[in-house]
Amino acid sequence: MFSIFRRLKPPAPARSRPSQARRPRMVDIAGNTMGTTYQVRIATAKPMDEDDLAARIHAAVDLVDRQMSTWKPDSDLSQFNASGTDVWVSVPNDLARVVKTALGISRSTQGAFDVTVGAAVNAWGFGPDGPASKIPDRQPFGVWQHLDVRDDPPALRKNTKMYVDLSGIAKGFGVDRICDVLEEMDLTDYLVSIDGETRVSGSKPGIDGQWRVAVDTPTDGDGEADVWDVLQLKNCAIATSGDYRRFFDHDGQRFAHTIDPHTGTPVQGAAASVTVMMPTCMLADAWATALLVMGPQKGIAIAQARNMRALFLFRDEAGFREVTTGDIID
């Protein structure tokens, strides 16, 4: 009897195959906040619980709304507006931060941006009291110099009667808070927008990886707007203020929702729209309003002096005329 032994070759070492990276996909999340909508577009190859992400995003903007809304009687801002003068009122840190930023821009613009014009906003029919039935009587001017903010502990104080309205800065801050949520989850390629106030980061799937944002032609109506220009953005925020969305006409005169703090009335002789690009959406939101209020000459001058990336659109006989400052990318 004999045996036949078959020599077995030692097993070959396992070969490592090059890993195939997942292709980025687009995750879209949307919801309602501040009387309007938000949209979030995220380019990512990471697996994630999209429902959990959506819940975190909504919680972030809902918190901003509950702190800074003038439409909610129980918001922190509404409670401050209802308080007396010459007393410190405790507020959340984010609310103090936004007011502090607003006051800094008020100083830089000699009061062209002023969050204390809330009484005039309401009287002209652009606040929670609803549309005005007639041209209101003379309203208080902006009194931002009489509004104080404290960091630690966070609190606000008014030295005269006033009504604070953060509608020119809070939506931008809401965009930034959504971006904070994404960054905390290591998501760095995104586009976030609330009612057109937008911030982008990183790149999007595609040939050139660029995020693009359209600037509307400032024409009247509630339908889909015509596009004036499409801007290519990289790691920045963009916001627009104008006279073409919220306004009413009286005796052939247009009254837009942006109040001039120096007169207590809607701005007159301003640009049809001003679009500003800045590192954060809170700053872009506020500065777009400030430049609109300042008027053509002062607004363009301060944008040029600060090398600010801005696009002004003015109505003329031919339709619209464009003026840009800074490095507008398109």
Domain with 258 in it: what CATH number? 3.10.520.10
pLDDT tier at 146 (50, 70, 90 boundaries)? very high
Q: Residue 96 CB: number of other CB atoms within 10 A? A: 21
Choice among 58-62, 174-178, 326-330 with the minimum mean pLDDT = 326-330
In a domain, 133, yes or no: yes
Q: Which residues contact 267 (CB under 8 A, 6 or more apart)?
A: 243, 256, 258, 259, 260, 292, 293, 295
Given pLDDT bands bounded at 50, 70 and 90, which one contains residue 258? confident
Q: Give a yes or no: residue 6 inside a domain.
A: no
How far apart are alpha carbons 315 and 303 in whole angstroms?
19
Q: What is the mean pLDDT of residues 136-151?
A: 85
Q: What is the largest CA-CA distance in the chain?
A: 120
Number of domains observed in the structure of the chain: 1
Q: What is the pLDDT of residue 179?
A: 98
Confidence band, pLDDT 50/70/90 cuts, at residue 222: low
pLDDT digits (tens, 9 = 90+) for 162-192: 999 999 999 999 999 999 999 999 999 999 9
Residue 218 belongs to some domain of the structure: yes
Mean predicted confidence (pLDDT) in 127-132: 70
Average pLDDT over every residue of 34-54: 94
Domain that holds residue 143: 25-325
Whether residue 223 is contained in a domain is answered as yes
As given in the structure block, the two tokens for residue 296 are 């053509």
Q: What is the rounded CA–CA span in Å between residue 172 and residue 127?
A: 18
Beta strands in the chain (DSSP E): 25-33, 36-44, 89-90, 147-150, 155-158, 190-194, 197-201, 211-216, 227-233, 236-242, 247-250, 253-256, 259-260, 265-266, 273-278, 309-316, 319-325
182 by DSSP, 3-state: which? helix
Instruction: Give the pLDDT score at 195.
Output: 92
3-state secondary structure of 315: strand
Write out the two tokens for 305.
């002096």
Q: Helices in the chain by DSSP H: which ranges?
A: 50-68, 76-81, 93-108, 118-123, 170-184, 281-305
Is 20 part of any domain?
no
Contact in structure between 223 and 234 (CB atoms under 8 Å): no
Question: How high is the pLDDT of residue 24?
Answer: 82
